[in-house]
Amino acid sequence: SRLLADHHLALTLDGRTGTVCQLLSAFPDDVAAADAELALVFGTARLMDQDRAQGASYVDLAQRLVDSVPEERRRRFDVLLGVLRLLIARWRGELETVLEAIQGMEAALAALPAGERALSDALRSAALQNLGVAELWSSRLDEARRDLERALVLARRAGRPWLEIPCLGHLGIAAPWAGVTLCDGLRFSEEAVRIADAHGWGEDPVIVTALATGAITLLWIGRFDEVEQWLERAERTLHPDGEPATELIVHYARGLLRLAQGRFDEALAGFRAAERMQALLANRHPFTLRTRARLMETQARMGQLDAARAAIADVSDAERGASEILVATAVIHLAASAPEQALDVLAPVIEGSARRMHPLTATTEAQVLDAVARDQLGDPRAAEASLERALELAEPEGMILPFLLAPSAGVLERLPRHRTVHATLRQTILDVLGGSAPAVQGNPAPLLDKLSEAELRVVRYLPTNLRAPEIAAELFVSTNTIRTHQRHIYAKLGAHGRAEAVARARGLGLLAPSARPR
């Protein structure tokens, strides 16, 4: 047990939780009842395996047995106990508990011997990551981005790529909210996925946040086939008793995709599943308000206007002026053929006086709805002007989703090509509405090196949901061979991950184009 207590941390930080679990299977379940260090090993393994309840139980047991830990082993024990308590508090959404615990963590880390610098960097990275995520879920966006970036630097300095993945995944959310472009935010998610795939962690729960946040960004730019792949992979990897905040994002992303596709029953189910996750959190998740707003939009699009209006009536005064709620209210008014009222509630969003989590996306969505409202009023010139402003906002990032969430096809079709300076984006949106996939922005660069016949065979499996072992079985080669081919493919395509490789391959004509799923 001492050998396992000494080495389990290094195994865990190397992404080898499965090895730790196999070693623990040799111990009876009750052996940790009198051994604080072994209880902590059990707690670490259960938490990393997303068993929230049992992991917390073992950590509580280790805390009760703390006085039995020998003095010479106490410093490292205290540090690890502190990290796990931070993780549990973060999962519960208890920011204040995290803020209190981080102070004790710093003191414990400072007490580690000078020879454990790499371990200290890794554990400090884990602590700052938990702090950054707790700040993110409490909408403290600047602090979240700062601490997640610090955690990422420490993870890299410690040589722990497994720790980089959650930092990058959460930066995929925090960075765009803090002012970084959507495409730059997507790069964080793609890098996390690339690291996971390169190290064989593609099925590790640590990757779920990156997959979910990347899927949401891909959805904003209309790359539906990749959204499906990323979400299906996230759902396959997600553990049912894991972090509620992460599961909330996965359900929200699924609901948003189905809403954009017009599959309203499935959208409603996704948003309601996200709301159930909020009930497990101590503090209000920043996705909760947007989930509620999207649910109301879905009800309005389904013709359930009474239910949507009742939901609006239940919104608190503090939240009623948020851009998400104002946009949802406008959707309800438009569904009820009340365009004047829609224009009234959209004005604060367009003017910038409404509270907005992500100003660019909120304003673009509002501007599209404004165009639809003016079109309903029979004012085509005003509708064209609003639509032109929406296209101007959307074009730098290639945003397509706002035009899919609103009944904008008619306005777009009636906008003459010669009266818009955004004709290419307009046509791309109409193509997506018609069932075609949007092209990746820019002309595809030539291949850095020609793909071999074996690599081309693997490329054809990349758009599927098959994992490396399954592709290997299809092609009658080893899993290691497939992973080697994937690394070469990514390098030759200049791609950072599987989704980007698929997009590059499509742009180069190596794969057939995909249709927008309905």
Tens of pLDDT, residue by residue over 64-82, are 988 888 888 888 788 888 8
Distance between CA atoms of residues 288 and 295, nearest Å: 11
Q: In terms of domains, do 19 and 164 share one?
A: yes
Residue 176 in domain: no
What was the pLDDT predicted at 515? 42
Q: In terms of domains, do 361 and 492 share one?
A: no
Which of 107, 136, 170 terminates a domain? The answer is 170
CATH number at residue 482: 1.10.10.10
Compute φ and ψ for 322, nearest 5 degrees: -70, 145
Residue 105 in domain: yes
Among 90, 172, 178, 98, smallest CA distance to 139 is for: 178
Compute φ and ψ for 355, nearest 5 degrees: -70, 130
Contacts of 131 by beta carbon, 8 Å cutoff, 6+ apart: 86, 90, 98, 99, 102, 147
CA angle, 326 as apex, 287 and 345 as ends, to 5°?
170
Q: Could you please report the per-residue DSSP string of 31-62?
A: GGGG-HHHHHHHHHHHHHTT-HHHHHHHHHHH
Q: In terms of domains, do 49 and 120 share one?
A: yes
Residue 250 in domain: no
Q: In 142-213, where do the E strands start and end?
A: none
CB count within 10 Å of CB 242 equals 18
Residue 487 in domain: yes
- For tokens 């090895």, what's the residue? 19
Q: 25-33 — which CB contacts under 8 Å span 24+ positions?
A: 27/1, 31/1, 32/58, 32/61, 33/61
CATH number at residue 361: 1.25.40
CB count within 10 Å of CB 514 equals 17
224 in Cβ contact with 262 (< 8 Å): no
Q: In terms of domains, do 474 and 339 share one?
A: no
Distance between CA atoms of residues 130 and 153, nearest Å: 15
What was the pLDDT predicted at 76? 79
Q: In terms of domains, do 463 and 379 share one?
A: no
Q: In terms of domains, do 365 and 459 share one?
A: no
Distance between CA atoms of residues 349 and 312, nearest Å: 17
Residue 207 in domain: no
Distance between CA atoms of residues 366 and 411, nearest Å: 15
Q: In terms of domains, do 388 and 458 share one?
A: no
**Mean pLDDT over each residue of the chain, to the nearest integer:** 85
Residue 480 in domain: yes
Radius of gyration (Cα) for the chain, nearest Å? Answer: 25
- For tokens 């029979």, what's the residue? 378
Q: In terms of domains, do 356 and 489 share one?
A: no
Which of 139, 170, 201 terminates a domain? The answer is 170
State how many domains the chain has.
Answer: 3
Residue 413 in domain: no
What was the pLDDT predicted at 437? 55
Q: In terms of domains, do 136 and 35 share one?
A: yes
Q: In terms of domains, do 17 and 158 share one?
A: yes
Q: Write down the number of H helices and E strands in the chain.
A: 28, 0
Q: In terms of domains, do 88 and 13 share one?
A: yes
What was the pLDDT predicted at 281? 82
Compute φ and ψ for 432, nearest 5 degrees: -65, -45
Residue 478 in domain: yes
Which of 170, 187, 216 terminates a domain? The answer is 170
| Residue pLDDT tens, the chain, 518 long | 676 666 677 777 777 877 777 777 777 767 767 788 888 888 888 887 777 788 888 888 888 988 888 888 888 788 888 888 888 888 887 778 888 777 777 777 777 776 666 678 888 898 899 899 988 888 888 899 999 999 999 999 989 999 999 999 999 988 888 777 888 889 999 999 999 998 888 888 899 999 999 999 999 988 888 899 999 999 998 887 778 889 999 999 999 999 999 999 999 999 999 999 988 887 788 889 999 999 999 999 999 999 999 999 999 988 999 999 999 999 999 999 999 999 999 999 999 999 887 888 999 999 999 999 999 999 999 999 999 999 999 988 889 999 999 999 899 998 877 778 888 888 888 888 877 655 554 445 556 578 888 898 898 888 776 788 888 888 888 888 998 898 888 888 877 667 778 777 877 777 754 444 44
Contacts of 207 by beta carbon, 8 Å cutoff, 6+ apart: 165, 169, 192, 193, 196, 201, 234, 237
Which range marks the domain in which residue 59 is found? 2-170
- At 182, which helix (H) or strand (E)? helix 182-198
Distance between CA atoms of residues 57 and 63, nearest Å: 10
Contacts of 102 by beta carbon, 8 Å cutoff, 6+ apart: 86, 127, 131
378: left (phi over 0), alpha (psi -120 to 50) or beta: left
